[in-house]
Structure 1
Amino acid sequence: MKTSKIAYKPVGLALGTLSGVIAGAAFKRTWKIFDGEGDAPGATDEDRTWRQILLAAAIQGAIFAVVRASVDRSGAVAIRRLTGTWPG
């Protein structure tokens, strides 16, 4: 196994956790802009409309994907700078 791949494993795990925290915080702030209420609806929230639930899910998914890709890419670039090879 390549050195860069081995070095990236713990970094990747830590970055995955970090991206989840960042994405969760970004989603909460974004949802307040869209709906004005504190908490986003869950799929089984009886008091919310289909529109609200599906909009919240779409926004959350988009934010998570963008944050995760950004954090993963940054980690890979950092590993390349440290080891000289891309962790692939």
Structure 2
Amino acid sequence: MSRGIGRAAYRPVGILLGMGAGVLAGALFRQVWKVTAGDGEAPDATDEERGWVEILAAAALQGAIFAVVRAAVDRGGAIGVRRLTGSWPQ
């Protein structure tokens, strides 16, 4: 199968997987934040009551979780497309 077909097959899959990864990462971050900070809500960058350290720690944790979930979902999607089409999406 040509590379163009593999790309075309992966594009809609990648979009759907990306949206799902965002939802999953957000839910995972909220749960991790509850456990680590003991607070129900992560701080917003404009929250006047929260300090720099707490805000930046929350942002770093959220970014790390999102990146790991997104990479895992993208990799799994690419493997699935290769199994279906015979070629690795580029």
CA RMSD between the two structures: 0.8
Secondary structure of the residue aligned to 1:2 is helix
5+ residue gaps, structure 2: none
TM score, norm. by length of structure 1 = 0.97
Q: CA deviation at 1:2?
A: 1.0
Q: Is 2:5 the partner of 1:3? A: yes
Does structure 1 residue 29 correspond to structure 2 residue 12? no
Identical positions, percent: 59
Q: Aligned match of 1:18 in 17, 20, 29?
A: 20
Report the Cα offset of residue 35 of structure 1.
Answer: 1.0
Cα deviation per residue 1:6-63 (whole Å; 9 max; x = unaligned)? Answer: 0001000000000000000000000011211111001100011111101000000000
Q: Which residue of 2 aligns with 1:83?
A: 85
Give the number of aligned pairs: 88
The CA distance in 1 between the partners of 2:86 and 2:8, in whole Å, is: 13
Which secondary structure state, in structure 1, belongs to the residue aligned with residue 44 of structure 2? coil
